[in-house]
Each structure stands twice: as C-alpha cells, then as structure tokens.
Structure 1
C-alpha cells in the first residue's frame, strides 16, 4: 500500500472530519480540495480500508450535572423512570417502562409492551398523572425515548422538571435501579411467559403485593403504602393502553 500512501492520507483526513459521508461525497470533496485522484483508485483504497462498512459513531449526549439522591419527604416530589427488557418463551422481546415515587418507593405503574416509543411513554405518564397527581420532577436516564423532543416538550409544557442522571452512572437513579433488581428476581426471572398478557397479569398481582404487603428494608421494614400512605390511591398499578 506504499504507492497509495497519499490516497490513504487524503481519505483518513476526510473521514476524520466527515465520518458519515459515503464514497461519492468523499470523492467530490477530494476533487474540490484539489486532489486529482481517479475515482476507481480512490474506491479501491476506500474498500481496502474497509470504509465501505457501516461506521458506528458514539451518540453525543449533553453534559449532565450530578443530581443529589435524597429521599423526598412528600409524595409526588420526584418520580423515577426506567426501562427494562426481557423475552417471551417464543423468543420475542418485550420491554417494561417502570415508574416509582421516590417519596415512599411506591410503584405507580409498569407498562409492558413489545415496543414503548416516546409517544407511548407520554400516554402512560398522562394516565399516571390523572391517577396520582403531577410530580414536581422526574429522575431519568438518557435513553432516546426520554430525551426525545416530544417527551421533553411535553414535560416543559406541564412544568415538570427533568433531572437527567449522568451517562453511565445508574447509581444516580438508585431507587428505581434497586426496584428493577427486585422485579427481575421475583417476576421476570421467576416465570416463563407465553404472552404479553401473561406478563401483565402476573405483574399486576405482584405490584399490589409489593406496594401493600411486602416489607421494604430501607423503609423500616414496612410496605411503601404503610410507610407513607397515599390519600387518593388508584386501583391499578399496571396500565392497559391500546397498542
């Protein structure tokens, strides 16, 4: 490749500045930059460098400030949000969208579906707000559903503060991460699910027990609704939305 050293340098310089450009854009730019290289030669070197393969680029996230993890003294001050993933017996994947109130660690809802895009997240949140009232803030990670324009604008319109954790720091959302572990141990890993409806039914029964009967170590060994009762508690904790 010694005779192609000059071509390699040109390509590497262009790709470093424009990693998402395809071959013809790189070729045209090289011509505009004054490099007279035959397109067949450029393409041969382009393929030899494996630049014709899809190139993964790191998703750029805004800088996040570390948010203090302090248990609120009242309900509806901070809700924590997170997603989980699992599979049915058939191998088909499904996701869960979990929401808890950090004040008493009560699970407000778990949405179970094969796909949960940002618009569905908004619908779930609207149902929860109708049932429990509006939270002052949400603690959440930097997933695409939660950083989408639709979701962030929806929160802004309702005056809900978004407290994004720093990328790669799940411990900053520790309350719901601890819940996720319990949910996986006692439900997702404990059953072989045949259908989404079965996941929802088992989850609904388990959530009632979790909120009302299961002792919580960090709450003085009492259930969430014993530790801090909710005056207008809703009936269901799992949500049923149209697909």
Structure 2
C-alpha cells in the first residue's frame, strides 16, 4: 500500500492524504486537489521525484493553477526534510505497529493517526505543543 500526503511546511500539518494499492498520479492529484479546496493555493508545491509526482496529470494539476512546482534532487532526502520527518513518525507510530487486515482498514487507521498527528500529538519543534494549539493553519471554511 502507498500513502500520499500533502504536508504544509510552515505548520507541519498533514492537509490531505490518500492510501492506495497503486502508486498512480491519480491518488496524488486527489490529495492535492483536496488540500487546495480546503486551504487555498500555495505559492509553491515541493515534491520528490516519484513517478506519481513527475506524471503529467500531477504537474498539470499544479502548474495549471499558477502554482510553482519544485522537485527535490534525486535521492536528496534533505531537500524535503520536514516531509521525511512526517514519514518517520507515521512509520514508527502507526504502520510498523499494525498488521492491516485490508486496504479499508489501513485507510481508516491512517485517517485516525493523521487526525491524532494534527490535533493531539505533541511536536518537539513546537515546544511539545500540538499542531492545533500552535494554530498556524486553518481551512478556508473557518476563516
């Protein structure tokens, strides 16, 4: 299974995500469009060079909206260190601790973990505050 997530660098909040059994651009585009709809357009989208992000459907979804697209160097995890830290948290606090029974079970558990990550989990970069307490990012509908 594959997890695609849209992470805001400033707040570290996971804005949208998809769990799928294939690594297709469709899932990345869906997550991206959900984040855009809920939070508005950013100035720039940064990704690694995974096939789902270099696909025409994904690059078109970004560039057609006037958003700049930046891609990390190949194998350069330091270019996207904030997202790599999110992946580490997800792996060690969720994925490695569970044996998912099905794709739907994985989706449900991942949604629950991301809610915990965004709302209740303390973050050392925020002096152990939660992302919600730091109040750096909110959906467009609540503005």
With normalisation by structure 2, the TM-score equals 0.90
Structure showing greater Rg: 1
In structure 2, the CA distance between the partners of 1:117 and 1:188, relative to structure 1 (3 Å rule), is: same
Counterparts of 1:52-131 in structure 2 under 5 Å? 94-131=1-38
Which secondary structure state, in structure 2, belongs to the residue aligned with residue 189 of structure 1? helix
1:179 corresponds in structure 2 to: 86
8 Å CA contact retained: 1:99, 1:110: yes
1:32-70 deviation line (CA, Å, top 9, x unaligned): xxxxxxxxxxxxxxxxxxxxxxxxxxxxxxxxxxxxxxx
Q: Distance in 2 between matches of 1:146 and 1:201?
A: 24
Farther-moved stretch of structure 1 (114-123 vs 199-208): 114-123
Q: Structure 1: which 5+ runs fail to align?
A: 1-93, 235-243
Post-superposition offset of 1:221: 1.3
Aligned length: 141
Q: Higher helix share goes to which structure? A: 2
RMSD: 1.6
Q: Structure 2: which 5+ runs fail to align?
A: none
Please point out which of 164, 176, 187 is paired with 2:71: 164
With normalisation by structure 1, the TM-score equals 0.55
Farther-moved stretch of structure 1 (113-122 vs 99-108): 113-122
Task: Considering Cα pairs closer than 8 Å and 6+ residues apart, tell me whether 1 or 2 has the greater RCO.
Answer: 2
Q: Distance in 2 between matches of 1:233 and 1:151?
A: 23
In structure 2, the CA distance between the partners of 1:157 and 1:171, relative to structure 1 (3 Å rule), is: same
Q: Distance in 2 between matches of 1:97 and 1:204?
A: 12
